[in-house]
Amino acid sequence: MNSVQNQVTNSVKALVRFALWCYFKRITLIGFSKENHAKPVIYLGNHQNALIDALLIATTTRRKTTFLTRSDVFKNPLIGRLLRYIGMLPIYRFRDGVDTLSKNAPIFNRCGEILHDHEAILIFPEGNHGLKRRVRPLKKGFISLLTHRWSRDKQPVYLSPIGVNYKNAVRFPDCATLVYGKAFQVNPFEPSPDSIQSLLNQLHQQLSVLTTHIPESLEVYYDQIEAGIEKDGQLFLNPIKANDLIAQFERAQHIDPSGVAANDIWLKVNSEKSISFFQKACSVIFKFLFECLNIVPISIWRLFLKPGIKQPEFLSTARFGFSLLFFPAYFLLLFILIAVFSKNLGMALAIPMIHFILNIIFVKKYANPLH
């Protein structure tokens, strides 16, 4: 990647980082370290929230990171060229057609070069996304990245698991917590069913600690567990506490199949702190102001864009993408119209800035979730 391309990529990352800060009420990093920044690292995260997961990780690792994403987002030639330019590579899956799998060979070769150069790759080993709060079975595709790396030399690769946690991934504004696990070294090994499964189990176990994990064995109680933890919505941003409650529930259910003891666990969960009358009033006022000030983008989103999104996992990504494109153009148009008709540049600058600041105050301080 040449210097100009590096500058463009860094500028795009900075823009997206700022846009994510504006979009989320709060983004928290836990366990982040630069200890392995000079080493070949594969970041591996759980996958709930489409492209938002990748953007959050890619803009917080603070190092050059290439991330692999589903190939269908590259179908548009112009968008595909742009995504490749900023460091994204397509990965082809069985659902894309058996004949497309051969296209992965040059991608894996490129990934081998990236790791050989002691750079980083981001991949989601579940191979799909889903809003359910659990780590799904992992696919072994990332093993190919290791073997292509070791085809060049036999130096170790570091795997860095990341838990991506949301308070409520489909709502706006939301809170996110990224929990970085300790990277572990993987030395060259001869891939076999046993060695591959052992590595998959190790990684799955680590990811299950870094994000809220309601195991499939508790699927019949899934809604009950989710509702119990959701009483204190902040718990979904603290996977250690959330998983401890799930373990308590599982033990209680095993001891007392009637469910009485298990249900008592949720009585211990504190509901979210009540807010004062003043805070409630401010929240209502700011929500009213927000919807009035942003009636155009909100109407476009609710009437024309949102109905066309069939998978809820894409809602946040689509909303973020729409906001990223719409608001800069909207504020620029607002500035031009006011400047032309008022002949007052100060006013033309002030009004879009005040609008932007009120939006940020709503998102960061007084927001009730919007759909």
Domain assignment of residue 323, yes or no: yes
Please tell me whether residues 161 and 263 are part of one structural domain: no
Asked whether residue 231 carries a pLDDT value surpassing 70, the answer given is yes
Cα-Cα-Cα-Cα dihedral of 304, 317, 139, 116, to 10°?
140
Q: The pTM is what?
A: 0.92
Task: List, in sequence order, the alpha helices (H) in the chain.
Answer: 3-23, 50-58, 77-85, 104-116, 141-150, 193-210, 222-230, 239-255, 260-267, 277-293, 295-300, 315-342, 345-361
Choice between 311 and 281, residue whose per-residue pLDDT is larger:
311
Evaluate whether residue 229 is within a structural domain. yes
Q: Does 285 share its domain with 360? A: yes
Which whole number is the average pLDDT over 167-174?
94
Exposed (0-12), middle (13-18) or buried (19+): which is 22, by Cβ within 10 Å? Answer: middle
Question: 139 lies in a domain?
Answer: yes
Tens digit of pLDDT for each residue in 69-95?
888 778 878 777 777 877 889 888 877
pLDDT score of 40 more than 90:
yes
Q: How confident is the model at residue 2 (pLDDT cuts 50, 70, 90)?
A: low
**140 and 118 belong to one structural domain:** yes
Describe the crossing of helices 3-23 and 50-58 by its angle, rounded to 10 degrees.
120
Query: How much is the pLDDT for 172?
Result: 92
Residue 273: exposure state from Cβ atoms within 10 A (0-12, 13-18, ≥19)? exposed
For residue 77, tell me if it sits in a domain: yes
370: left (phi over 0), alpha (psi -120 to 50) or beta: beta
Domain match, 104 and 253 both: no
Count: domains in the chain: 3
Per-residue pLDDT, averaged over 260-278, amounts to 74
Q: Which domain holds residue 141?
A: 3-209
Average the pLDDT over 128-140 and give the result: 94
> Quick one: 238 and 321 in the same domain?
no
Mean pLDDT of 136-143: 91
Query: Do residues 136 and 244 share a domain?
Result: no
Q: Say what the pLDDT of residue 272 is.
A: 56
Answer with the residue of higher pLDDT: 73 or 143.
Answer: 143
Question: Encoding tokens for residue 217?
Answer: 């064995």
Residue 241 has pLDDT above 90, yes or no: yes
Q: What is the pLDDT of residue 215?
A: 96
Let me know whether 322 and 338 are in one domain: yes
Alpha carbon of 42 to those of 47, 162, 290, 336: distances in Å?
15, 10, 41, 46
123 neighbors 43 (Cβ within 8 angstroms): yes
- Burial of residue 352, with CB atoms counted within 10 A of its CB: 0-12 exposed, 13-18 middle, 19 or more buried: middle
pLDDT tens-digit profile of 191-230? 888 999 999 999 999 999 999 999 999 999 999 999 999 9
Whether the predicted pLDDT of 292 surpasses 80: yes
